[in-house]
Amino acid sequence: DAGITQSPRHKVTETGTPVTLRCHQTENHRYMYWYRQDPGHGLRLIHYSYGVKDTDKGEVSDGYSVSRSKTEDFLLTLESATSSQTSVYFCATADYDEQYFGPGTRLTVT
């Protein structure tokens, strides 16, 4: 597996609080992605990055922001968490075609 780590791996937070999830890679891949996975919806793209400080929205970006100040780190922020954002969040990286996924973060918003 590619060197992709996500932190935290599990988090429980309250509605209205800010939350930041971190993805770290050691592969020097250009592209990085944040997905959320919910039953019956597969994997849905939240935001992605095609280089340092270059990001773009995916299909479910409302309520989320991202930042990439270094090649190896891609941060996902929920400015004010809502219960609908309870999900499993996966980070992925890619250099050309194949995407490599991190282990995931299980986020519960109560």
Partner 1 sequence: GQQVMQIPQYQHVQEGEDFTTYCNSSTTLSNIQWYKQRPGGHPVFLIQLVKSGEVKKQKRLTFQFGEAKKNSSLHITATQTTDVGTYFCAPLWDFGNEKLTFGTGTRLTIIP
Residue 91 pairs in a beta bridge with 34
Q: Which residue of 41, 69, 70, 95 would you call a contact of partner 1, by CB under 8 A?
A: 41
Q: Which residue of 10, 40, 62, 110 would you call a contact of partner 1, by CB under 8 A?
A: 40
Q: Which stretch binds partner 1 (CB under 8 A): 13-21, 33-41, 66-74, 78-86?
A: 33-41
Residue 40 pairs in a beta bridge with none
* DSSP code string of 47-92: EEEEETTEEEE-TT-TTEEEEEEETTEEEEEESS--GGG-EEEEEE
Residues between 54 and 93 that touch partner 1 (CB under 8 A): 56, 58-59, 90, 92
Contact residues for partner 1 (CB under 8 A)? 31, 33, 35, 40-45, 48, 50, 56, 58-59, 90, 92, 94, 97-104
